Structure 1
Amino acid sequence: MVVTQVDSTSLDMITIIPSVTSEINVVAFKHRAIVAAILLVFALVGLLGNALVIISVIVGRRLRTITNILVVNLAFADFMACTFFPFQSAGLLSQTGRYPLHETVCAAVAAVQYISACCSVYTLVAISFVRWYVITRSIRGHQGLHTPKKIAIMVVIIWIFSISFMVVPPVLGIGTLGYSQYYSLCSLTKTNELGNYYVVLQGALIVIALLLTLVFYIRILCHVLRHNKQFRVKYAVDEDTGSSSTEAHQNKASSSIAAGSRPPMIKAINRKEIEITKNLFMVVCVFMFCFLATIVNFIIPGTSVFTLYSIMIAFGNSIVNPIIYGLNHPNFQEVFITIICCRPIR
C-alpha cells in the first residue's frame, strides 16, 4: 500500500510540473530569442545615435538653439531607455521562468522604461508647443516663454511629471513592477489586482499627450495657411493696381503691421522655422507609428505573440530620432558627418 501511494504521488508530481512550465513559457523561446537579439541591436544603434545627437548640440554652434534643448532632452530619454535594453534581453532569454538577476533589478528596468517613454511623449508635446509659440507668437527674438531658462524649467517639470506618474502608483500599491513570466519582460507582474488601473493610466497619459501634440501642429498648419493666403491676396492686389515694387513693398509692410501680421523680413524666418517644424513633426509621426501596434494590441483582449512584437516595435522608437535628424536636418547632418569622420568642427 505504501508503494502504491508513493507511485501515485510521484505521478501527480510529474503531471503537475509540465503544466506549470507550460504556463510560465507561453511565448515560444524562438520568438523571445528573436526579440532579444533585435533589442541588442536597438541598444547599440540607439546608444550611438542618441549620444551623437547630444554631442552634436553641445559642440555645434548652429545647433545651440532653444528648441534643441528639448531635442537633447528627448535624446537623453531615448539614450536612457536603450541603456536597459540588454537587461530586457536577459529576461527574454531566461528559460527558468525567473529573471536571471535580482528581482529589484528587473523592477528598476521596468521603471526606467516607463519613465523614459512618458518623458519622450511629453517632450514631444513641449516641442510642439514651442514650435507653435515661435511661429505664431515669438518670432521677434527670445521673448515670452521662448527663453533658455524657461525651457529648462519645462524640462525639469517633464521629468518630475514622468517620475511621479510612472513610479508613485506602484509605490502606493497600484500595480507591481517586476518580471512578467508570460512575456519574459521586465514590466508589470500579474500578482497585483490593481495592475489594470496602472495600465489604463499609462494609456491615458500617452493618448492625451499625442492629442495635445496633434492640436498644436494643426494650429501651426492653420496659421501658416492663413498667413500665406494673406500674402497671396496682397500680392494680387499690388499687381492689379500696377504699383511700383518699392511702393508695393512699403504698402505690404504697413498693411501687414496694421493687421497684426509680420513684416516681409519675418516671412523668410518663418520658412526656416517651418522646415524645422516639419522635421520635428516627422518625429511625432514615427512615435505614433511605433506605439500604434501596442495601442491596437491593448484594444484587442487576450495575450499573444503579437503583444511581444508590438512592445519591441514600441522600443524601436528610441533609435529612429537620430536617423531622422541625420537624413532630414541639414545642420545635424553636417555635424554628424564631421563627428563621425573625426574632423574639427568649424
Structure 2
Amino acid sequence: MVDYSATSFKFDFSQWNFPEERIWLHKSSAEITWKICTFIPVIAFGLYGNFIMIYLIATNRSLRTPTNLIIANMAMADFLTLLICPAMFMVNDFYQNYQLGCVGCKMEGFLVVIFLITAVLNLSVVSYDRLTAIVLPRETRLTFTAAKIVILCTWILGVLFASPLALYRSYRVRIWKNFTEIYCKENTSILPKYWYVLITILVWLPLGIMLICYIAIFYKLDRYEKRVLSREHPLTVSYKRSVAKTLFIVVVVFLVLRLPFTILIVLREKYYTTDSTVNSGMQLFWYFSQYLMFFNAAVNPMIYGFNNENFRRAYAQIWCVKRWKATAKVKEETNPNGSHYCCYCAFMKKQKVKETTQEVTTTAKASIGTSSNQHIEGDGFI
C-alpha cells in the first residue's frame, strides 16, 4: 500500500483517480439517524445533570465546601465536554471529508483532551479527599484556598497535556483527478505514541488512585465493622455495606466506560504501523468507545452529586422541582384511587426512607467513634 499521506506534497495527485469504491462522502441517512438518536439523550441528560450540580453548589452556602468546589469543577469540565465535543465528533463521523476546517483540526482533539483530563484530575483529588476524611481524619483537610489552587492546576495541566494534539495535527487538501480529499492529518511518528501517555492519564492513573484510596477506605470501615459487631450496632454494618456498594459502583462504572477507549488506542497503533484498512467493525468500535467516554461525563453527576443526600435535599428545594412535586401531590390527592404513578414522588419517598436509616446509622457510628476517640467524617459523595 502506498503511503499517500507521506508523499502528498511530493507528487501531483491530480493525475490519478481516487479509488471510486472508497468515495462515500457521507453516511447513510439511517446510520446518521440512529447515531443522533443515541447521542441526544446522553447530551441532554448530561448537560442538565452537570448544570444542576454547578447551580446547587453556587447557590447553596451549605454546599460550598472545598470538596464540592472540586466536584463543581469536574461538573464544569463534563458540561463543556458534552456541550462541544459530541457535535464535532458526529460531524467527523458522518462525512468522509473533514468539515471543521483548519481551526477545527487544531482545536478538536485539543479541547476534548483538556476537558477529559481536567475532569479525571478532579476525580482523583476527590478520591484522595475521601481517603483523608475517613482513613486519615487527623490529617490536614482540603481548604478553600487549596481547592482553588487545585482547580487552577487541573486546567493548566489539561492544557499542557493536550497541547501536542494542537501542535502535531495539520489541515490538508489533496486534489485527485476525480475527487478533492480534505482531511486532518496527525503526525504518525509522535502522536500514536503520545496517545499511550494520554490513556495513562485518562484511565490508568485515576483508576489506580481510586483503587488505592477506596481499598484503604474499605479496610478502615472493615475495622469499624468488627467494633460495631462487638457492640451490637447492626445499622453501622449496613452503613459499611452501603459505602462498599457506592465505591464498587464508582470503580466499575469508570472502568467499564473508559476501558474500550484504551483498547481503541492500541488498535489505532496497529492501523498506523501496518497496511491494514479500517473496516466497518473498527469504525463501529471507534464510535462506541468515544460514545462511552461522553456517557461517563453524563453520569458523573449521579455518582458524585445526587448520590449524596445533601445534594438531593438542595435539588428538592429548586422552585421548578417544588412546583412539579406540588402538582404531583395535588393529582394524587384528587385521584387517590387512580392508576396515576409519579416516578419522582416514588423516588423521593424512597430517598426519605433511606435518609432516615442513614441518620440513625450516623448516630450509631458517631457513638462508636466517640467511645474509641476516633471518628469518620461523612461529607462528600460517600
TM over 0.5: yes
> Is the Cα–Cα contact under 8 Å of residues 105 and 184 in structure 2 kept in the other structure?
no
Q: Give a deviation string over 1:108-161, Cα, whole Å, max 9, x none.
A: 23211111111111211101100000112236xxx6242111122122222222
> Is the Cα–Cα contact under 8 Å of residues 36 and 93 in structure 1 kept in the other structure?
no
> Is the Cα–Cα contact under 8 Å of residues 279 and 329 in structure 1 kept in the other structure?
no
| Partners of 2:37 and 2:223 in 1: CA distance | 49
Aligned pair in 2 of structure 1 residues 152, 178: CA closer, same or farther (>3 Å)? farther
Match of 1:176 in 2: 169
Match of 2:23 in 1: 21
| Partners of 1:272 and 1:149 in 2: CA distance | 32
| Partners of 2:65 and 2:240 in 1: CA distance | 12
Runs of at least 4 residues off by over 6 Å: 270-278
CA deviation after TM superposition for structure 1 residue 106, in Å? 4.2
Matched, 1:114 2:116: no
Q: Give a deviation string over 1:7-61, Cα, whole Å, max 9, x none.
A: xxxxx97963514526x77x87754553344334333222222111100112234
Q: Give a deviation string over 1:253-274, Cα, whole Å, max 9, x none.
A: xxxxxxxxxxxxxx99x99899
CA deviation after TM superposition for structure 1 residue 218, in Å? 0.7
Task: List gaps (5 residues or longer) in structure 2.
Answer: 1-13, 173-182, 272-277, 324-382
| Partners of 2:289 and 2:128 in 1: CA distance | 29
Match of 2:63 in 1: 63
> Is the Cα–Cα contact under 8 Å of residues 102 and 170 in structure 2 kept in the other structure?
no
Match of 1:195 in 2: 191
Match of 1:320 in 2: 299
Match of 1:227 in 2: 224
| Partners of 2:212 and 2:188 in 1: CA distance | 36
Give matches, 1:1-346, under 5 Å: 16-21=18-23, 30-31=30-31, 33-84=33-84, 85-95=86-96, 97-99=97-99, 101-138=100-137, 144-167=140-163, 169-170=164-165, 173=167, 175-176=168-169, 189-205=185-201, 206-233=203-230, 235=231, 279=246, 282-300=249-267, 301-302=270-271, 303=278, 304=282, 305-324=284-303, 328-339=307-318, 341=320, 343=322
| Partners of 1:277 and 1:322 in 2: CA distance | 19
Give TM-score scaled by structure 1 length.
0.69
> Is the Cα–Cα contact under 8 Å of residues 195 and 265 in structure 2 kept in the other structure?
no
Aligned pair in 2 of structure 1 residues 98, 34: CA closer, same or farther (>3 Å)? same
Other structure's SS at 1:328 match: coil
> Is the Cα–Cα contact under 8 Å of residues 283 and 321 in structure 1 kept in the other structure?
no
| Partners of 1:49 and 1:164 in 2: CA distance | 28
> Is the Cα–Cα contact under 8 Å of residues 196 and 265 in structure 2 kept in the other structure?
no
CA deviation after TM superposition for structure 1 residue 308, in Å? 1.5
Aligned partner letter, 2:23: T
| Partners of 2:238 and 2:67 in 1: CA distance | 16
Aligned partner letter, 2:198: Q
| Partners of 2:140 and 2:83 in 1: CA distance | 36
Aligned partner letter, 1:70: I
| Partners of 1:13 and 1:188 in 2: CA distance | 22
> Is the Cα–Cα contact under 8 Å of residues 121 and 210 in structure 1 kept in the other structure?
no
Other structure's SS at 1:16 match: coil
Other structure's SS at 2:98 match: coil
Aligned CA-pair RMSD:
3.7
Aligned partner letter, 1:144: T
CA deviation after TM superposition for structure 1 residue 317, in Å? 0.9
> Is the Cα–Cα contact under 8 Å of residues 33 and 93 in structure 1 kept in the other structure?
no
Give TM-score scaled by structure 2 length.
0.63
Aligned partner letter, 1:204: T
Aligned pair in 2 of structure 1 residues 74, 280: CA closer, same or farther (>3 Å)? farther
Task: List gaps (5 residues or longer) in structure 1.
Answer: 1-11, 180-186, 237-266
> Is the Cα–Cα contact under 8 Å of residues 107 and 177 in structure 1 kept in the other structure?
yes
- Largest Rg, 1 or 2: 1
> Structure 1 stretch 112-121 or stretch 324-333: which is displaced more?
324-333
| Partners of 2:171 and 2:50 in 1: CA distance | 27
Identity %: 22
